[in-house]
Structure 1
Amino acid sequence: MTADTPIHTPAHIPAHTPARISPLADWDPRLPSGLDARELPFLTQLTLRVTPGGAAATAVEGYLGYALPGVGRAHLDAEVKTLWLGPDEWLLVGPAGRAGELTAGLRSVIGEEFATVTDTSAQRTVLALSGPLLPEVLSQGCALDLSPDKTDAGACHTTLLAQAGVTLVVREAGPRAVWLLVRSSFAGYLAAWLADACTEYAGVT
């Protein structure tokens, strides 16, 4: 085996990685004091397809340190959170910049068992919403029953909000805090709808 020849970047080509721009980089919403909204850009998002209860699922659960959540649920008490999306599909959400590490780790423990791990971080962005006005605002564009007894912490729904597909994760019961995971191409539309839905609450404290 011969030593690899070092590769030198020509002086006229920038060596740094191009800056990433989030879908809502310029978003500056004017919302009533009863609602707070911010984007959580660039979170690591991995789509996991695996048969529940199988050897691969068991290996993944050992790697994560907890059981994969069941129907309509999310596991939120960990750095890498897991959202149920379908009978054999979950979305793992972690800190920015960890896609490579987590993908390699998961594929390593899965080994020859049948499962897929796909980096889908660029597909969606995350809106974090909180405040006492949250249920009223969301109910203007969402058909889900958002009454307190139906929205306990950890509930996870794939639904429509203002006709845009979202995954709604209840972070605090009520709901007083949620994550909205939305396709990057629909993020601007959803942000504009949110601001418009809040118009009637201007001046509410």
Structure 2
Amino acid sequence: MGFFKFIFSKVFLKQLLLALLVLVLLVFGLLYWLRASTNHDQRIAVPDLSKMSLGLVQQELENADLNYVVIDSSNYNPDFPTFSVIEQNPAAGKFVKEGRKIYLVLNPSGYRKIEIPELVGRTQRQVEPTLLALGFKIGKIDYRDHISSDEVLELRHDGQTLNVGDALRKTSVIDLVVGNGKGSYRTSGDAAQDVINDAEDLDDAGL
């Protein structure tokens, strides 16, 4: 009778509930430890994100338990869609841990703009390599009567004259107006002498 009385006593029931609670906590703790230890050395292959939009990137990396960070926009590449992934680090195929951040470089919306430097007055052989090095393309070459052969007199884009500091997108086509060496010019001193000579002629004529 005393044994059964103890079993159904409040003290025993409290101890039994406490023991069950401890047992449940131990089981959950063991399961968590097993899961953590099992995934500890798990490696995930980085997917190829090239040419993907950010929306597709997010879906792809969420499925792989990976994260991403956009670090920069590269120089525009016409072979890639606008705002798509142009570079990634780690590279596709590399194995990383769960939750690893993948760093992305995106393709911008277009070529960046470049300012036109001081080129008028230089020779065509100097101007063309400079424009090509800046990323522009050489268009038509128009020749104009001018005493200096090969001297660049004007830069044009879509029929408009370009000035120093004007900005055009990279790969824009620039036309050149170049002297042909057949022209002539008169200095301001020559013009002044002409005025004096004309005045003397009028005076001699009595006008």
What TM-score bracket applies, with the shorter chain setting the length?
under 0.3
Bigger RCO of structures 1 and 2 (CA < 8 A, at least 6 apart): 1
TM-score for the superposition, normalised by structure 1: 0.20
Task: Choose between structure 1 and 2: higher helix proportion.
Answer: 2
Looking at CA atoms only, which structure, 1 or 2, has the larger radius of gyration? 2
TM-score for the superposition, normalised by structure 2: 0.20
